[in-house]
Amino acid sequence: MNAQIVIVTGSEPLDDEVIAALDPDAVVLAADGGMDLALAAGLRPSALIGDCDSVSDEGVAWAKENATVARHPTDKDRTDTELALAVAVDMRPERLTMVGGGDRLDHTLAALGALAARHLTGIPEIDAWWSGQHVDVLHGPGRRTLRLAPGSTLSLITLGRPCDKVSITGVRWPLEAHRLQPGAGIAVSNEVTDPDGDVAVSLSSGVVHVFDVPSDAPRDQRSGGRRRRSR
């Protein structure tokens, strides 16, 4: 079992402060072009996974010399990120973190949506940094207490099926046993009011994405995480 596995994916250079906040002993997996992004950020992935249609020749050469290469056909039914997640699940991590970003909305939705896959349910802690935005992912039935920046904004969104009995405390607008529908706005742009930043989130079924600002987030995200809710 591994304490933390980090999957690097997407097409956007990685934020230095986000990389600095990762566990230095984490196992890093690169999904295709994520290999180049990881190397540029000073990370040393232990595996390159994907069809290798976006990674550079230099990245492939480094992987062949220093890591495991799991090359897949271009014609496939799963994205490179999904393939990397499948490898991560087999390693039974305590925490799974996806780091990436990019300007294609379809890729963003597919990457964040992949963290809701049923086979990830057994991982105790799942989160992501995507284009500088932090996301915690909770699979039901489950409960977690998040340590967030007091006064910061957070939003709960489900990208797939409805989530049942969603509850949240430590915020300006609490919820109790609410059925959260996909894309519903009722839990968008809430505010952390607990003085210690402790926000408890629970649900009985489904998967909820919590867009939040951790208490130890990079400074630029903490300063940009406060805004009014439109009701």
pLDDT in tens, 125-166: 999 999 999 999 999 999 999 999 999 999 999 998 999 999
Query: Structural domain boundaries of the chain?
Result: 1-131, 135-231
- Average pLDDT over the chain reads 94
Specify the pLDDT at position 220: 61
Query: Which residue's structure tokens are 């910061």?
Result: 152
Bridging pattern class, strands 68-71 and 47-50? parallel
Q: Is the pLDDT of residue 211 over 70?
A: yes
Bridging pattern class, strands 153-157 and 207-212? antiparallel
Q: Is the pLDDT of residue 21 over 70?
A: yes
Specify the pLDDT at position 223: 52
Structure tokens at 171: 């915020």
Centre a 10 Å sphere on the Cβ of residue 64 and count the other Cβ atoms it contains.
11
Distances (CA, A) of 6 to 15, 60, 78: 14, 19, 19
Going by pLDDT thresholds of 50, 70 and 90, the confidence category of residue 174 is: very high
Specify the pLDDT at position 203: 98
Q: What is the dihedral of CA 84, 29, 127, 116, to 10 degrees?
A: 0
Same fold, 1-131 and 135-231: yes
Specify the pLDDT at position 227: 47
Give yes or no for a contact between 158 and 112, defined as CB atoms under 8 angstroms apart. no
Going by pLDDT thresholds of 50, 70 and 90, the confidence category of residue 221 is: low
Give yes or no for a contact between 166 and 153, defined as CB atoms under 8 angstroms apart. no
Q: Is the pLDDT of residue 31 over 80?
A: yes
Specify the pLDDT at position 228: 46
- Which runs of E-coded beta strand occur in the chain? 2-8, 27-31, 47-50, 68-71, 93-100, 125-130, 133-139, 142-147, 153-157, 163-169, 175-180, 190-191, 198-203, 207-212
Among 76, 73, 82, 83, smallest CA distance to 52 is for: 73
Q: Which CATH class is domain 135-231?
A: alpha beta
216: number of CA atoms within 13 Å, CB side?
Answer: 8
Which residue type does 119 have?
Answer: H
Give yes or no for a contact between 14 and 62, defined as CB atoms under 8 angstroms apart. no
Structure tokens at 87: 């490898």
Specify the pLDDT at position 2: 79
Going by pLDDT thresholds of 50, 70 and 90, the confidence category of residue 88 is: very high
- Of residues 97 and 218, which shows the higher confidence score? 97
Fold for the domain defined by 1-131 = Rossmann fold (3.40.50)
Which residue type does 94 have?
Answer: E
